[in-house]
Amino acid sequence: MARFCEAGYRIKVTTYTRVLDALAPAKRMIPPQGNMNMGLGMGWKAREMVRVTCSLVSVVDDDESVRESLPDLLREFGFAVRTFSSAQEFLASDCIKQTTCLLLDVRMPGMSGPDLQKELRRLKREMPIVFITAPADETLRSNLIEQGAAACLFKPFSDTALYEALDAAVGMN
């Protein structure tokens, strides 16, 4: 289950039983209501704790307007964002291990989106992928989903469609 904290970070909710209150701040956990008064002498106690995790979405698209416009929206959704102009640039980056979800254009010069998906599989660095593409081709969408994509959105897509696709993809991870 995902929620958003006051600072706007996407948070993952995990229930812990018999959590020592004194250890919670050291593990970057906070109670759901944000009460940081976690006294030392309180002993073991069952409570729902929230671990703050900032999910990184990497956007790989050769279209500069997409790379400039999507990060603001993705940050509003609570994600950290990195953008790349090509599949090769993404592969050469240090973001592969940190990426929670890949927002990936299908058609790009050089290595295409599906080619990048195959290369990540070969490198054993699989992650949820949401493909985005301009031509509205249902056969293409079906093929990409069959090959393991979490979703395939046709440009232009709505904020809601993007949020739902990313939320489902991050839930898969």
pLDDT in tens, 92-113: 999 999 999 999 999 999 999 9
Mapped onto helix, strand or coil, the DSSP state of residue 103 is strand
- Of residues 131 and 48, more confidently modeled: 131
Q: What is the pLDDT of residue 171?
A: 83
Q: Cβ neighbours of residue 160 under 8 Å, at least 6 residues apart? A: none
Radius of gyration of the chain (CA): 19
Instruction: Please check whether residue 119 is in contact with residue 92, taking contact to mean a CB–CB distance below 8 angstroms.
Output: no
pLDDT at residue 15 tops 90: no
Say what percent of the chain tops pLDDT 90. 62
**Cα–Cα distance list, 16 to 44, 46, 132, 171 (Å):** 11, 7, 37, 19
Torsion of CA 107, 112, 115, 119, to 10 degrees: -140
Instruction: Please check whether residue 7 is in contact with residue 30, taking contact to mean a CB–CB distance below 8 angstroms.
Output: no
Q: What is the pLDDT of residue 22?
A: 34
C-alpha angle 145/13/94, rounded to 5°?
A: 55
Q: Which residue type sits at 173? A: N
pLDDT at residue 90 tops 50: yes
Q: What is the pLDDT of residue 172?
A: 67
Residue 32 sits at φ, ψ, to 5 deg, of -55, -35
Instruction: Please check whether residue 150 is in contact with residue 129, taking contact to mean a CB–CB distance below 8 angstroms.
Output: yes
What average pLDDT does the segment 42-53 reach?
39
